[in-house]
Amino acid sequence: MCAAGPLWYAAYTNPRSEARAAQRLRAQDYAVFMPTLRKTVRHARRSRTIETPLFPRYLFVSLDLTRDRWRSINGTAGVSGLVSANDRPLPLATGLVEALIAAEAIGAHAADDDAFHIDDPACFRDGPFAELIGHIRSIDAKGRVELLLQLMGRSVAVQTTVAQLRPLPA
């Protein structure tokens, strides 16, 4: 029941070990794909953008079961095992991983920093100015924004970052 040629298979990894497992599998000459997602996390009044796995605890490995020594994957550091049934790895639907690779190539997971332009309305996501609507006055290359808010009958310029704002329809 083995199909000819390489197919994509899902490997289940140990918690937060996707990157280590991918590195070790690549060192064994396996083709590995681990889709990631850019995510902004806030901690202690600081925000930073990190790359996290799109599918936590899973990565994809291209294998030809008739040619590759696929059982060695189960013993690779960071890998719990291949997703299997009846002691045989289960192939993923044809075209699924290829579509994910194509989406990543065109930047589908990229941060949406281009959503903001001068004079566009925007509002704060949270904090003391949550849901206050203002207009963007300036944006610099580092993602700092000057927003013009109407507070107590006058215009007030507030400095913030792109990550703290939510775009509004014009």
2 falls within a domain? no
Q: Is residue 1 part of a domain?
A: no
Whole-number Å distance between alpha carbons of 95 and 105: 15
Task: Please check whether residue 20 is in contact with residue 30, taking contact to mean a CB–CB distance below 8 angstroms.
Answer: no
Side chain identity at 48, as an amino acid letter? Answer: R
Beta partners for residue 138, in sequence order: 146
Pair (61, 133) in one structural domain: no
- 5-52 pLDDT, tens digit per residue, is 799 999 999 999 999 999 999 999 999 999 988 777 777 877 778 888
Residue 53: what residue type?
P
Termini Cα distance of the chain: 56
Q: 85-104, pLDDT tens digit by residue?
A: 999 999 999 999 999 898 88
Domain extent for 161: 113-167
70-87 core/surface letters (b: 16 or more CB in 10 A; e: else): beebeebebbeebeeeee
My answer on whether 132 and 50 are in the same domain is no
The answer to whether 149 touches 106, Cβ cutoff 8 Å, is no
The model carries a pTM of: 0.65
